[in-house]
Amino acid sequence: MLVICGIIPIPDLPLICGPVKAEAGSLILEGHKIPCSQGTAAMVSAALAVSTYLDNEPPIALLAGDIGSGAGSRLIYNYIIEHVATLKPRVLAMHYCMPDLKLTVNLCEAVKTMPEKPIMLADAASMYAAKAADIAPQFDMFTPDLSEIAFLADPEAIHPAYINKHLFESDCSKIPLLIEQAYRHKGAAKNLLVKGAVDYIVAEGKIIDEIEAPDVPILECIGGTGDTITGMVAAFADAELELHQAAIISAKANRAAGEYAQVTPANSVSVLINALPQVFKDNLCAWSGVCSL
Amino acid sequence: MSFFNRLKSQPKANKTNQKALNSRGRGLIIFQVVEEAIMAEKQLKQANIGCKLVAPPPQLRKGCDLALEIDLIEQPAIERTLKEKVYFVGIFPLQGSAELLNHVKINYYDKYTMVKAGNMKLVFNSESGVIVNTSGGGCPDIPYLNLQMVGKKLNEAPRPREKGFTLCSLMLDRAFEEACALWEGGKK
C-alpha cells in the first residue's frame, strides 16, 4: 500500500483519507472533487496513473485543506503519526505541508515502532523539515531540484530561502559536489533523485545514473512537474521496484511525457499526467525489463 | 562509566537533542525599543502566531534588550501582522545565512519569460504580462498562490507577500517583483 500525505489548496477541505480515483481530470476522494493542480494533487495523480497502468491498488491519499496557515498540515501530521502503525503502508510519501520539525520527528519515532518499516519518501516542505530536524538519513528517498540540493548541502540552512549564497550560485556542473556535501553533512536521504537539466540518481551517496534524454527544458516552467516524478517514484516503489530503478524510470517517464505532450511554458501539469499512460505503454517494457503485467 | 551513571546520562542527552531541535527553524524579530517588542508580542498572539520574548544574542543586538523568537517559516505572515502597527528593525534566522537569498535568474522561451528567485519560479507571457505558471517551492501556501496568480496579468495579480504565509512565498514575491520590472521595462 502507498500512502501519500499532503495539503490541498482548498481552504475548507476537511481531513480526508482513502483510496483515490480519477474522474474527468480531477481526483475523487470521499466524495470530494480535487482539481489536478500543482502540489500534492499532481503527485497523487501521477502515482494513480502508475498504479492504474500496473493494475495495482490505487494510492491512499491523506489530504487536508491548507492555504498556508499550517492548520491542515498539523491535522495530517497528527493523523499519520497516530495511524501509521495500523495503516501499515509499504511506502509512505510526505509532500506539501507546513514544515513542522517536532511533528516530523514524532512521525519518524512512530515509524520506528513498526515491525516492518515503510519505505519513507519526502519531497517539498516535508523534505525541508526532515533536513532541518537533522533526521534526513532516516528517509529512504528525497527528490530535490537544484536549489533544494544546495539547501541539503548547507549544514546550517533550515529553509532554501536562507542558504549560503555560494552554494546556491553553483551551476549545474557542481551538482555532484553538492550531492557529496549533502551526504557528508547528513542532509540527504539514503537515496536521491536530483531533478534538473540532468537528473541524477544517487544511492547511499554514490551517483549511479544520469538521465538527460529526451531534453525538454520547458518542463522547468510548468508547476507540478517535480511532483509528478515523486508520485511515480512512490508508486513504482509500491509495485516492488528497487528505489533506484523506480527513480530512473520515473525520471525518464516525466521527460517522455513532456515530449509526447509537446508542452509549452503555458501548459498545466495535467497535460503531462494525461500523457503518462501512453508513455508507459510504449516504454515501460524496455525501461524495466518487465514486459507482461 | 558505571551502568547507573550511563543510565543517568541518557535523559540529559535526550534533553540536549530536544533543545537543539527547539532552536532549529527559529528566527528573531529585532526592535529598537522594549515597548515595541511587547506590543509586537501582543499583536502576534492576537493573530494566533506563536512567539516568545527573549534576549537577543550580541551579534543581533541592534537597540533594545528584548527580541521576539518566532518560527521563521512564518516570516511573511508575521511581517504582515506587524505592518503599520509596530516598527521593527528586521527578522533574522537564529542559524545559517542571516540574509534572505536574493539571487535572480532569467530564462527566455520564445514568447515567455521565466524568472527564478531562490527555489521559486514564475513564468509570464513577455508581451501580455499574463502569468502562465509558477513552480518550485514546497510550503503549503504555494499551490494556493499558483491558483491565485496563474491567468492574471502581472499588474492585476495578488502579491505573494500579501497573500502568502511562508518563506517560499517570499521567494515567489522576489520573482514576481523582478517579473514586474522586466515587463514594465519591456513596454517602454
Contacts of B110 in chain A (CB under 8 A): 265
Structural domain includes residue B151: yes
Closest chain A residue by Cα to residue B117: A161
B53 and B120 together in one domain: no
Identity of the residue in B95, B98, B132 whose CB atom sits nearest the CB atom of A158 = B95
B122 and B149 together in one domain: yes
B37-59 tens-digit pLDDT: 889 999 999 998 989 888 877 77
The answer on pLDDT for B61 being more than 70 is no
User: Is B129 an 8 Å CB contact of chain A?
Assistant: no
Instruction: Give the pLDDT score at B20.
Output: 63
The answer on pLDDT for A152 being more than 50 is yes
A5-55 tens-digit pLDDT: 999 999 999 999 999 999 988 999 999 999 999 999 999 999 999 999 999
B159 and B113 together in one domain: yes
Instruction: Give the pLDDT score at B12.
Output: 42
Nearest to A73 by CA among B135, B139, B171: B139
The answer on pLDDT for B177 being more than 50 is yes
- Chain A nearest-CA distance from B133, in A, is 6
Structural domain includes residue B9: no
Residue count of chain B, please give it: 188
Instruction: Give the pLDDT score at A41.
Output: 97
Residue B62: pLDDT band by 50, 70, 90 thresholds?
low
B124 and B52 together in one domain: no
User: Is A160 an 8 Å CB contact of chain B?
Assistant: yes
A131, A158, A163, B141, B154 from A68: Cα distances, Å: 20, 18, 22, 4, 22
B19 and B43 together in one domain: yes
Say if the Cβ atoms of A98 and B140 lie within 8 Å: yes
B112 and B170 together in one domain: yes
Contacts of A72 in chain B (CB under 8 A): 140
B77 and B109 together in one domain: no
| Cβ atoms of B114 and B123 closer than 8 Å | yes
For chain A, positions 126-145, list CB contacts with chain B under 8 A. Answer: 126-128, 132-134, 145
Nearest to B91 by CA among B60, B53, B126, B46: B60
The answer on pLDDT for A176 being more than 90 is yes
Lowest-pLDDT range, A142-146, A191-195, B164-168, B184-188? B184-188
Query: What's the grid cell of residue B104?
Result: 535572480
Structural domain includes residue B10: no
In whole numbers, what is the pLDDT of chain B averaged over residues? 85
A121-140 tens-digit pLDDT: 999 999 999 999 999 999 99
B149 and B80 together in one domain: no
Mean pLDDT throughout A202-207? 97
B88 and B111 together in one domain: no
CA-based radius of gyration for chain B: 21
B72 and B130 together in one domain: no
The answer on pLDDT for B9 being more than 70 is no
SS (H, E, C) chain A: CEEEEEEECCCCCCCEEEECEEECCEEEECCEEEECCCCHHHHHHHHHHHHHHCCCCCCEEEEEECCCCCHHHHHHHHHHHHHHHHHCCCEEEECCCCCCHHHHHHHHHHHHCCCCCCEEEECHHHHHHHHHCCCHHHCCEECCEHHHHHHHHCCCCCCCCCCCHHHHCCCHHHHHHHHHHHHHCCCCCCEEEEECCCEEEEECCEEEEEECCCCCHHHHHCCCHHHHHHHHHHHHHHCCCCHHHHHHHHHHHHHHHHHHCCCCCCCCHHHHHHHHHHHHHHHHHHHHCCCCC
B108 and B88 together in one domain: no
Identity of the residue in B77, B96, B147 whose CB atom sits nearest the CB atom of A158 = B96
Q: Domain of B148?
A: 104-187
Quick one: CA dihedral A227, A233, A237, A238, positive or negative?
A: positive
The answer on pLDDT for B2 being more than 50 is no
More confident residue, B108 or B73: B108
Domains annotated on chain A, with CATH: 2-288 (3.40.1190.20)
How many structural domains compose chain B?
Answer: 2
Mean pLDDT throughout A108-127? 97
A228-242 tens-digit pLDDT: 999 999 999 999 999
Give the number of other Cβ atoms within 10 Å of residue A256's Cβ: 22
Structural domain includes residue B8: no
Closest chain A residue by Cα to residue B167: A161
Residue A172: pLDDT band by 50, 70, 90 thresholds?
confident
Instruction: Give the pLDDT score at A198.
Output: 96
| ipTM value for the complex | 0.94
Query: What's the grid cell of residue A148?
Result: 533544494
CA-CA distance, A132 to A19, in Å (whole number)? Answer: 31
Structural domain includes residue B176: yes
- Chain A nearest-CA distance from B171, in A, is 7
In whole numbers, what is the pLDDT of chain A averaged over residues? 95
B113 and B179 together in one domain: yes
Lowest-pLDDT range, A261-265, A276-280, B122-126, B165-169? B165-169
Identity of the residue in B74, B139, B164 whose CB atom sits nearest the CB atom of A125 = B139
The answer on pLDDT for B11 being more than 60 is no
Express as a percent the part of chain B with pLDDT over 70: 84
